[in-house]
């Protein structure tokens, strides 16, 4: 699921920048956005409100808003919405930040979102629509293995004894 989230963060970023009144996308970014739109064309409809089973690759995350940080679990990611489960209820239309990190790759994602719908159950299921420019930040570099001493390659004398 983290790979799909990483892919969609770039799509949402370009889409939001293209829709904003700021500087237009560069030509290569426009081509990239059009390519990404073709890839996610079948994924642009928001899921219907309802129960979403916990997938094997569910991601822990936090919803941050109105002075509160709520632990959530990302259960589904589409180009239209991110579906999370949580123990609390959040009002429809609320603005918040969805934050998650991948410790293996050392990447943190922050998605500005708006609550699309809430399905009251145990746990509560919430659909979030990305509403702004998401960020992807590398918080830790993956160290490369280093040798303490370089290997000496070349001619070696053979010891007989």
Question: For position 38, which CATH number holds?
Answer: 2.40.10.220
In a domain, 102, yes or no: yes
In a domain, 157, yes or no: no
Give one DSSP letter per residue of the chain, joined into a string. -HHHHHHHHHHHHHHHHHHSSSSPPPHHHHHHHHHHHHHTGGG-SPPPSS--PPPTT-EEEEEEETTEEEEEEEEEE-SS-EEEEESS---TT-EEEEEEEETTTTEEEEEEEEEEEEE-SSSEEEEEEE-S--EEEE-S--PPP--SS----S--PPP--
Check pLDDT > 90 for residue 22.
no
In a domain, 42, yes or no: yes
In a domain, 144, yes or no: no
In a domain, 146, yes or no: no
What average pLDDT does the structure give for the chain? 86
Q: Which of 33-37, 73-77, 127-131, 151-155 has the lowest mean pLDDT?
A: 151-155
In a domain, 155, yes or no: no
Domain count of the fold of the chain: 1
Q: Whole-angstrom Cα distance, residue 127 to residue 116?
A: 5
In a domain, 99, yes or no: yes
In a domain, 83, yes or no: yes
Task: Say what the pTM is.
Answer: 0.80
pLDDT digits over 100-155, tens only?
998 888 899 999 999 999 999 999 999 999 999 999 998 766 555 555 555 555 56
pLDDT confidence of residue 105: 83
């Amino acid at each position: 699921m983290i790979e799909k989230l990483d892919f969609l963060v770039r799509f949402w970023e370009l889409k939001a920048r293209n829709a904003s009144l700021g500087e237009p996308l560069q030509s290569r970014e426009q081509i990239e956005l059009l390519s990404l739109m073709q890839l996610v064309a079948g994924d642009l409809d928001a899921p219907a409100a309802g129960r979403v089973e916990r997938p094997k690759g569910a991601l822990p995350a936090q919803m941050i808003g109105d002075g509160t940080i709520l632990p959530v679990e990302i259960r589904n990611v589409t180009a239209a919405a991110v579906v999370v489960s949580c123990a609390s209820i959040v009002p429809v239309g609320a603005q918040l930040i969805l934050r998650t990190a991948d410790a293996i790759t050392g990447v943190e994602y922050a998605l500005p979102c708006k609550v699309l719908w809430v399905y009251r159950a145990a746990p509560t299921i919430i659909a979030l629509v990305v509403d702004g420019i998401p960020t992807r930040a590398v918080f830790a570099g993956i160290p490369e293995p280093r040798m303490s001493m370089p290997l000496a390659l070349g001619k070696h004398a053979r010891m007989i004894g």
